[in-house]
Every structure is written in structure tokens, then in C-alpha cells.
């Protein structure tokens, strides 16, 4: 579709209303597109041109953004069915969206049968196979001929209020007592206590306590949080920013969703402490577009915190001012990469930047910016309240603290749990997963998420994350029995990366596709010489030549598969 830059004098009243509400800010393009999509169901070319006219920017820029995000491509009346590895394992791949419908009980009769569209991941892995119908998160689903519907007893996403016998809970310690929709409930169990105490101390003390703790970021890279905050604190700038990366798009991962649902004030408090420590006045939560329900919860928490005087100007009479704004994404895995997220927040396509410079020196609007994920921010108040030394004494491994793990696949008790670092795959399966399902034998596991490692039984007793051969990553683990082929799982992972590649660099755009096509030939039974060597070469190309982590880490499942399962090629 060709889009030109001709100005349209007569702007649609609704588009004008959206633009006025957002103060004609060009950075609000995505928000306007989402609102228009919600209102009208499908984005039309003339509407894109009118948005451009209203904001006085080129229409091709608006089209470039509209065509980038997957949630803007599907008709609003369609339901999105998950295509991720957990849902694939549960049979979602059998569904033909062009020849099936979703039946939703309780909806208006005219809307009960909804058209289906595929989605790379919905963050609903624990209710797989799952779908998103408007703002309703559905699963597990069952398939009956051409109709997909919630299985009997499906009650929505779990909240994990009750701890398992072997858990060591810190982040989830009080969630069975707290009403996440009521700030008074959170305050009763210590919410904002650490922040209020910090106001009577210096920002330096907050950073020093974090450095003492050695807390490492929980987004997968593991960069020390205290060091990142100090870098930003020491930068000279008229403005600084705090960003909470809640674009939890890594397949098999839903820990951030659980934290938001359990106690959103813990996340807001962590951001407040970050703002105070580094001298920032503004924070953003970049939330993945599929988490509509969680977005409502965060918005409610922000409003309640403002009403209590815990956000806004001159907080508690301290002279410190800080505001938090929620920004919703619209479906793009790449926006989990911090620089792509910042680009998206600035009203651009979510494509990664060259690094260096890093966000700590050149982030949002080119200003020093702290970017941490939900789990990292949730831990801050615990450390500031109880001390860095307390944190160092948690756990049994060289890396202190606890971690949220998500466990899926052929175990008796899939879901989420919290425990210390350094646990083995066997402990995960036996102590937290309740063992393998009846009739299932351990075949292999995917650890660390889609950008993780495919490991054999040789790794059952190796601490997860202690070796490059068994990745911790986001803490996601998929356990597969003898009915699942590691070749087929690797193919699904390559398909995910192929679909989610932003296309900016050739190694990722072409390499992931070529890897998927090679695996298709293997699965079809076609004899092709040199498949193993070509996969190794592709993995090396992805790792060394890709522009950002999406392509670089797509090499990990290939390399681990070759290391552990080359005999099946």
C-alpha cells in the first residue's frame, strides 16, 4: 500500500479528538493508532493520512509505525490465539485460524463466535493453549472441530497466592494477604515504607545499599542494578528518566504479569526509589500490549498512589517530585530490547539503536535513563527496607537472592514458583513440578526462554545458569517428554524469531528464516547434505553479525541443540 505525504485539510473529528487529548504530540502516534484501532476495528489508509495531517508529520512515518506492531494488523473483532512454544506443546498448532472460530461464553450472542488470528506469544503460557479476546485472557482452550472454546473449569490466569512447600518467597511473600486493587491493603503490609524512610536519608545511601546487595537485573542480562543507577546518578543532565520494562514478550515467561497482578505498588515503589536515587522526576512503565488487564491494574495503582500523596509534586513534603506514566505497546517482541523500547516510547518504530552509547548516558530523549524490568524494580523496596547485607544472606549459591521461575510442559504441577539461585533441573522437576506426568519420561528441556538452551538429561543435575550450556535467562523452563521432538521444538523457536525479527539487519531477518526452512526439510524427511554444518554456520552468523540481542541470542537454541541432539539430524 502506497502512502504519500499529502496534507488533508479536513481531519476526521474523532482523530482530531484523539490528537487534542494527547496535545498533538508526535510521540503519541502509537497511542492514537491504538485508540483508533480500538474504536474502528481496522486501520484504513485515509485514517493514517489524517493522523499524519493532524500531527503535521509525514504520512509514511505514521504508516511505518502502524505496520510495525502486530496488534494493529488484526481486526479488533478477532481473537488472538497463541503460537508460542507452550501453546504449541498443548496443541495450538492444530488450529487453522482461517477455518476456526473462538466461542466465548457470557458474551453477547452476536459476538460469541470470534474470528481467530495467530499471535507469536500472549504471555499466558500457564493457561496454554491460550487466546486473547479483547481484554479477556482465556485458557486453557479445547478444540472441537472448527470451534475453539475455554475448557471446562477454566477460570482465567492463576495468581499463585499459596506457596509451594519448597518455595523460598520474598517477592511473593505477602500476596495472599494483599488486595492488588486497594492501596490501603498494600500499605498495611509495608508498601512505600522503604521509600518514606529513604526520603530521610541521602540518595547516595540508596545506591550504596543496592551496591552492597549485589542485586543483578532480572531481565536476563544480569547487569548489576546498583552500578547502573550510579552511572545515571553521576551523569550531569537537566533531565533524567526511569523506565520499567514490562514488555514481557519472551515465550514461556509470565513472572512480570504475576507480579503486576499480585502487588503493583511494589513496582511503583521501586521506580520511586530509583527516581530519588538518581535525580529523576519522570518514570514510564512500558507494558506489552497484550497485558490489557494488567494495564488497568497499574493505572488504578498509579491513581491511588497520587491520591495518597506518594506520586506527584513535593511528595510527602520532601521536595522530591516524581510522576509515573503507563505506556502500552502494541505487539512487538523486539521492544523488550531496551533501546528498541525507548525508540517506541519516543513514537518511532521499535527498532534497536547502536550501543554504545547505552541508555545510562543516552536514553529517552538522549538523556540519562535507568531501564530495569518489573522483577528488578519489585526487589528494590525489600533491599532498601531490610538492607543489602540481608539480601546477601538469602539463598544457597554464590549469587544471592531469590528468583521467579516459570515451569511448563510435561510436569504434574506447571506454573510459577520463587526460590534461590543455583537449583538444578532435577530439583525444578521434582521439588516444584511434582515430577513428570504419568507415562512421561524426561526427554529434554528448554531453559531460559525461547532465547535459551535445549538440554538433554546430561544436564539434570547441573545448576541452572552455572554453565553456558544451561541458560537461566528469564527463568523460564519447558520440560518435554518422549512425545516431543527437539527438532520440531527448535523449528518453532526459529519460526518465532523469524516472525518477530524487526527486519533492520540482514543476518537476523534472513538467518532466522533460513534456519527455519532448513529444519522444515529435516522434519519433512527430505535428505539434505550438510544440514548440521549449515545450522552451525547460521548460528555463528546470527551471534556475531546481528544488530541486537534478538538475532544474537537466536543462536543459543541452535548451538545447544547441535551440542546435545546432533544425532537426530
Percent of the chain with pLDDT over 70: 97
Long-range CB pairs of 25-29, under 8 A, 24+ apart, other chains included: 25/55, 25/347, 26/55, 26/56, 26/57, 26/347, 27/345, 27/346, 27/347, 28/347, 29/55, 29/57, 29/61, 29/62, 29/65, 29/347
The string of pLDDT tens digits covering residues 427-463 is: 999 999 999 999 999 999 999 999 999 999 999 999 9
Rounded Cα distance, 143 and 339, in Å: 40
The string of pLDDT tens digits covering residues 494-519 is: 999 999 999 999 999 999 999 999 99
Q: What confidence score (pLDDT) does residue 111 get?
A: 54
The string of pLDDT tens digits covering residues 387-421 is: 999 999 998 767 899 999 999 999 999 999 999 99
Percent of the chain with pLDDT over 90: 81
Contact 205, 289 (CB under 8 A): no
Domain 183-390 has CATH 3.40.50.11540: yes
Contact 472, 401 (CB under 8 A): no
Instruction: Give me the residue spans of the domains in the chain.
Output: 13-67, 79-150, 183-390, 395-434+446-479, 485-569
Range list of H helices, 41-182: 45-55, 59-66, 85-89
The string of pLDDT tens digits covering residues 122-157 is: 999 999 999 999 888 999 999 887 888 888 888 889
Closest to 435 in 3D by CA, of 407, 405, 476, 471: 407
Q: Which CATH number fits domain 395-434+446-479: 3.40.190.10, 3.90.1150.10, 3.10.20.600, 3.40.250.10?
A: 3.10.20.600
- Residue corresponding to grid cell 553479525: 545
The model's confidence at residue 2, banded by pLDDT at 50, 70 and 90, is very low
Instruction: Report the DSSP beta bridge partners of residue 144.
Output: 147
Q: All 3 cell numbers of residue 174?
A: 505477602
Rounded Cα distance, 174 and 292, in Å: 24
Q: Which CATH number fits domain 485-569: 1.20.1440.230, 2.70.98.10, 1.20.1300.10, 3.20.20.80?
A: 1.20.1440.230
- Residue corresponding to grid cell 538492607: 387
Rounded Cα distance, 495 and 313, in Å: 48
Range list of H helices, 264-419: 264-278, 292-307, 338-345, 374-386, 388-392
Mean pLDDT of the chain: 93
The string of pLDDT tens digits covering residues 295-324 is: 999 999 999 999 999 999 999 999 999 999
Check if 183-390 and 395-434+446-479 are the same fold.
no
Q: Is the pLDDT of residue 109 over 70?
A: no
Rounded Cα distance, 125 and 85, in Å: 8
Amino acid at each position: 500500500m502506497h502512502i504519500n505525504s499529502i496534507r488533508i485539510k479536513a481531519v476526521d473529528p474523532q482523530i482530531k479528538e484523539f490528537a487534542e487529548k494527547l496535545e498533538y504530540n508526535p510521540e503519541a502516534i502509537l497511542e492514537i493508532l491504538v485508540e483508533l484501532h480500538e474504536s474502528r476495528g481496522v486501520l484504513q489508509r485515509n485514517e493514517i493520512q489524517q493522523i499524519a495531517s493532524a500531527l503535521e508529520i509525514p504520512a509514511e512515518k505514521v504508516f511505518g509505525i502502524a505496520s510495525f506492531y502486530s496488534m494493529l494488523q488484526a481486526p479488533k473483532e478477532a481473537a488472538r490465539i497463541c503460537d508460542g512454544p507452550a501453546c504449541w506443546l498443548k496443541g495450538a498448532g492444530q488450529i487453522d485460524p482461517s477455518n476456526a472460530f473462538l466461542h466465548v461464553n457470557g458474551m453477547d450472542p452476536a459476538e460469541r463466535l470470534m474470528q481467530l488470528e495467530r499471535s507469536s506469544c500472549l504471555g499466558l503460557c500457564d493457561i496454554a493453549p491460550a487466546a486473547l479476546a479483547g481484554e479477556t485472557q482465556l485458557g486453557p482452550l479445547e478444540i472441537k472441530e472448527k470451534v475453539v472454546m475455554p475448557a471446562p473449569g477454566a477460570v482465567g490466569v492463576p495468581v499463585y497466592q499459596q506457596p509451594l512447600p519448597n518455595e523460598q518467597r520474598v517477592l511473593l511473600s505477602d500476596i495472599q494477604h494483599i488486595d492488588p486493587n486497594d492501596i490501603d491493603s498494600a500499605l498495611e503490609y509495608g508498601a512505600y515504607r522503604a521509600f518514606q524512610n529513604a526520603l530521610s536519608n541521602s540518595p547516595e545511601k540508596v545506591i550504596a545499599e543496592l551496591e552492597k546487595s549485589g542485586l543483578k537485573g532480572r531481565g536476563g542480562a544480569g547487569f548489576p542494578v546498583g552500578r547502573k543507577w550510579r552511572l545515571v546518578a553521576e551523569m550531569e543532565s537537566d533531565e533524567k528518566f526511569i523506565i520499567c520494562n514490562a514488555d514481557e514478550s519472551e515465550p514461556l515467561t509470565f513472572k512480570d504479569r504475576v507480579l503486576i497482578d499480585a502487588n503493583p505498588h511494589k513496582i511503583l515503589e521501586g521506580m520511586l526509589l530509583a527516581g530519588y536515587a538518581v535525580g529523576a522526576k519522570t518514570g514510564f512503565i512500558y507494558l506489552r500490549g497484550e497485558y490489557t488487564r494488567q494495564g488497568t491494574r497499574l493505572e488504578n495503582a498509579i491513581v491511588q498512589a497520587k491520591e495518597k500523596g506518594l506520586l506527584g509534586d513535593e511528595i510527602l513534603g520532601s521536595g522530591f517530585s516524581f510522576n509515573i506514566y503507563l505506556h502500552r505497546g502494541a505487539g512487538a517482541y523486539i521492544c523488550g530490547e531496551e533501546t528498541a523500547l525507548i525508540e517506541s516510547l519516543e513514537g518511532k518504530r521499535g527498532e534497536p539503536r547502536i550501543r554504545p552509547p547505552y541508555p545510562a548516558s543516552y536514553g529517552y530523549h538522549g538523556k540519562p535513563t535507568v531501564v530495569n524490568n518489573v522483577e528488578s524494580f519489585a526487589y528494590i523496596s525489600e533491599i532498601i527496607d531490610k538492607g543489602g547485607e540481608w539480601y546477601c544472606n538469602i539463598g544457597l549459591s554464590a549469587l544471592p537472592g531469590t528468583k521467579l521461575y516459570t515451569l511448563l510442559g510435561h510436569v504434574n504441577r506447571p506454573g510459577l514458583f520463587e526460590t534461590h539461585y543455583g537449583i538444578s533441573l532435577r530439583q525444578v522437576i521434582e521439588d516444584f513440578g511434582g515430577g513428570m506426568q504419568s507415562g512421561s519420561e524426561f526427554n529434554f528441556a528448554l531453559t531460559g526462554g525461547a532465547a535459551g538452551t535445549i538440554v538433554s538429561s546430561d544436564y539434570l543435575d547441573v545448576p541452572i545458569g552455572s554453565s553456558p550450556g544451561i541458560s537461566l535467562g528469564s527463568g523460564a523452563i519447558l520440560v518435554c517428554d518422549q512425545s516431543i521432538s527437539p527438532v520440531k521444538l527448535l523449528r518453532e523457536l526459529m519460526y518465532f524469531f523469524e516472525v518477530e525479527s524487526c527486519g533492520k539487519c540482514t543476518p537476523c531477518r534472513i538467518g532466522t528464516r533460513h534456519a527455519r526452512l532448513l529444519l522444515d526439510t529435516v522434519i519433512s524427511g527430505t535428505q539434505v547434505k550438510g544440514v548440521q554444518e549449515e545450522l552451525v554456520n547460521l548460528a555463528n552468523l546470527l551471534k556475531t553479525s546481528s544488530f541486537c540481542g534478538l538475532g544474537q541470542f537466536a543462536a543459543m537454541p541452535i548451538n545447544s541443540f547441535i551440542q546435545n541432539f546432533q544425532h537426530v539430524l
